[in-house]
Amino acid sequence: MVIHTVQRGDSVYSIAARYGVPAQRILEDNNISDPGRLVIGQALVVITDNVNYTVMQGDSLYSIANEFNTTVQNILDANPGLSQDLMPGQVISVPSTGQGLRAIDVNGYAFPTIRQSVLTDTLPNLTFISIFSYQVRADGSLIPIEDAPVIQPARQAGVAPLMVITNIVEGGSFDSDLASSILGNRQVRQTVIENVVTTMNTKNYYGLDIDFEYVYPSDRENYNAFLREVTERLHPLGYTVTTALAPKVDLNQRGLLYEAHDYAFHGQYADHIILMTYEWGYTYGQPQAVAPLNLVERVIQTALQVIPSEKILMGIPNYGYDWTLPFRQGTAARSITLNGAVELARNVGAEIRFDERAQSPFFNYYDSSGRQHVVWFEDARSIEAKLRLVNKYNLAGVSYWTINTFFRPNWLVLRSMYNISRVL
């Protein structure tokens, strides 16, 4: 696999000729409907095993090896007698690196409303699917959801369905008071657990995913007690327990989102920990990358102080945001799909740029009212950079929020680097 960044003068056909692959495959793999409208700076996934590469002005063996995720020695071995002094126009063979040998766990959060076509296309790339969500009431009862249309195809595809419970108030969002009512009452906690067991047994779930957010710091020990009680009840029944935790860059990080999430305790009791390494750029926040690599890596390093690496699933966002500038506190950014971000850049004639520190793409444009916008999103380059952290830190795998839209380049990049674990 190659990730090609579109340059001025590139066409689908010139790119296809450069890498020796059919143009139609590039179009399909990158969801390009109009081959005549590439976006400058757009990242294209090119699937190929061995590339006959034409050397360009300024190329070196090192730069070519870096572009193709291989080594200088691999290139030299594939081209006996090749000199280090390359000449423009020279054609060399660049071999496949043989990646894709390590198997990792891949989780995807899905709403029950996910389109069946998207679900069908995505399931081959998953180990687990977390169906979002059963909302817990203050009395421990659960608000039901129509999850059978997701569970059944998942099981048939060999993907393990996880039941998600949340402290989302009915008709609203995550609620601290609701969490306190649930976690602070042992009888309510037991009621929740028994309702979870009944639901998982009835619906044929594989395990439980607990996503309690904005828990009061004063409920930290109550949350720990709940987690201990859940695992003591579910593990003997053969169910797994996963928890989703806020992205801390310090184990003692202050703030309502962070303090009640006890990394060490969750790392001891849960089978998997999903680090929600996204939402630095968020709906009501300052424009910035949704998941800047430098901060994602800091969260992982923090978590590894107290959580075994083989339990950690790194969160990856499958969306971006479009902010109106200048940013004003209290105004909302518009959520945008990854395919939609590229389409928007194409329609407004924007050039996509890439922030090297955040390892994230972005672009600016003016709308029909003359207002300036900035869009931050994910592409094949930013996803590949994040996926490299899985190997670097020997993590269990990754978790996507959400899989309700299908971005084919993501899965092609993932498949080029790892195999997908199966537990069913």
CB atoms within 10 A of CB 318: 23
The whole-number pLDDT of residue 134 equals 98
List, by residue range, all CATH 3.10.350.10 domains of the chain: 2-94
Q: Are 158 and 174 in contact (CB under 8 A)?
A: no
- How far apart, in whole angstroms, are the C-alpha atoms of residue 323 and residue 382? 20
String of DSSP letters for 262-284: -HHHHHHH-SEEEE----SS-TT
Terminal-residue alpha carbon distance, the chain: 29
Q: Is 293 helix (H, G, I), strand (E, B) or coil?
A: helix
- What top-level class would CATH report for the domain 2-94? alpha beta
Of 50-64, 132-146, 351-365, 403-417, the range with the lowest mean pLDDT is: 50-64
pLDDT at 57 over 60: yes
- The yes-or-no answer on residue 213 being catalytic is yes
pTM for the predicted model, two decimal places? 0.91
* pLDDT one-digit tens code per residue, 290-329: 999 999 999 999 999 999 999 999 999 999 999 999 999 9
Mean pLDDT for the stretch of residues 258-271: 98
Average pLDDT, the chain: 95
Token digits of residue 147: 């999850």
The whole-number pLDDT of residue 146 equals 98
pLDDT at 263 over 50: yes
The whole-number pLDDT of residue 162 equals 99
pLDDT at 161 over 50: yes
Catalytic one of 213, 259, 297, 384: 213
The whole-number pLDDT of residue 392 equals 95
Confidence grade of residue 97 (pLDDT, cut at 50, 70, 90)? low
Confidence grade of residue 100 (pLDDT, cut at 50, 70, 90)? very low
* pLDDT one-digit tens code per residue, 111-130: 999 999 999 999 999 999 99
Output the CATH code of domain 103-317+380-420: 3.20.20.80
Confidence grade of residue 254 (pLDDT, cut at 50, 70, 90)? very high
List, by residue range, all CATH 3.20.20.80 domains of the chain: 103-317+380-420
